Amino acid sequence: MGLVAVKNKIMRFLQKRPTLALCVLRNWRAAFYNEAKVVLSAGIARSNSDSKEHMLRLRVHSLEKGLIMRPLRPVFAKSYIVETVELFAERFKQHQGLDCYDELLNWANSVLAEYFRVTGSDSEIDKARQAYEKLNETEHGLDGHHIPFVRPVEPLAIKYDDLLELAERRRSVRHVLEKQVEWEVLEKAMMVARQSPSACNRQGYKFHVIQDRSLIERVADLYGDYGSLQKGFPSLIVITGRMEAYGLGERHATYIDASLAAMSFQYALEVQGVGSCCIMWMENRERDEAIRPLLGLSDTEHPVIFMGVGYPVDTHPVPKSTKKSVDQLLRRVGESPAEADV
């Protein structure tokens, strides 16, 4: 039996016993080590304010989904409405007296007011309603306009062909000018990116922008020989997933939320004439431990993807990066001839 066959046999054996694989394969343990650590940190951080913010988002989102049900159920959200009002009250008290507009509070307040307006009576709901009404202050500065709405249906000025042109124009740019990308450009890109879908609207990601050359170099050095690409960009963004927003079974949402936002961000850069390139975070235990203090990352967030950003050198070629055909990527389940034969 050849070496490959032996290897495959061992892999097939372990494939049926992944727990054993985690115990005996050192590389496997190492590969999952960072994620496990972040998930555990998130478990410990359940009572911190970041974690509670995400829980409030989750609950308000669930209420909104209840509000758009047709027919509307006379009573819903019994199991979590008391907790939602408590989370709201806590955040409200934290912001009282602060001269800052808080979009989450505004949204939560609008949705709670609408919920209590339409929902019927039940012991838990009445308890929550009383607690909510006791917070008389809820009228201060909160406009109550953030409730489910019917979207405009007029056709958009942007047509399909415009979007296709943008998608085809964007290519990963790896050669950029030294000119720094203005903060306003990044802010405008974030305005778009934050509209991306995220699991229960928790937006469990953060974009850490590094524009300091020496810091970019230190981060790039963590990559060893592969760090030269990072060094060429005047802005390097480390996009992290925030595990405190999610439970164990949802942990992959940190990667998904971050990636969806990253894509929108890239398109928003492209239309502003700014190039970008995603760069793999070559994760291992040493790099993870080194990057945290460098960027001031919390224990509950983890790097998902890096993105170099800069004004493209117009004359420099970019890889063509030909894409798979639509047929390869889009599959009609159960109706392809191959499946009919099975």
Contacts with ligand FMN, residue ranges (CB under 6 A): 171-172, 174, 229, 277-280, 305, 321
Give the nearer residue to ligand FMN in terms of CB position, either 132 or 233: 233
What's the distance, CA 270 to chain centroid?
Answer: 20
Report, in Å, the least distance between residue 235 CB and ligand FMN: 16
Alpha carbon distances (Å) from 323 to 159, 165, 327:
22, 14, 11
Starting at the edge strand that comes first in sequence, how are the strands of the sheet with 235-242 ordered?
205-210, 235-242, 301-310, 275-279
CB 268 within 8 A of CB 195: no
Report, in Å, the least distance between residue 278 CB and ligand FMN: 4
Instruction: Count CB neighbours of 203 within 10 A.
Output: 21
Give the nearer residue to ligand FMN in terms of CB position, either 82 or 278: 278
**8: region left, alpha or beta (phi > 0 left; psi from -120 to 50 alpha):** alpha
Report, in Å, the least distance between residue 272 CB and ligand FMN: 17
Report, in Å, the least distance between residue 247 CB and ligand FMN: 24
Report, in Å, the least distance between residue 308 CB and ligand FMN: 9
Give the nearer residue to ligand FMN in terms of CB position, either 55 or 279: 279
> Counting Cβ atoms within 10 Å, is residue 59 exposed (0-12), middle (13-18) or buried (19+)?
buried
Give the nearer residue to ligand FMN in terms of CB position, either 172 or 180: 172
Give the nearer residue to ligand FMN in terms of CB position, either 57 or 302: 302
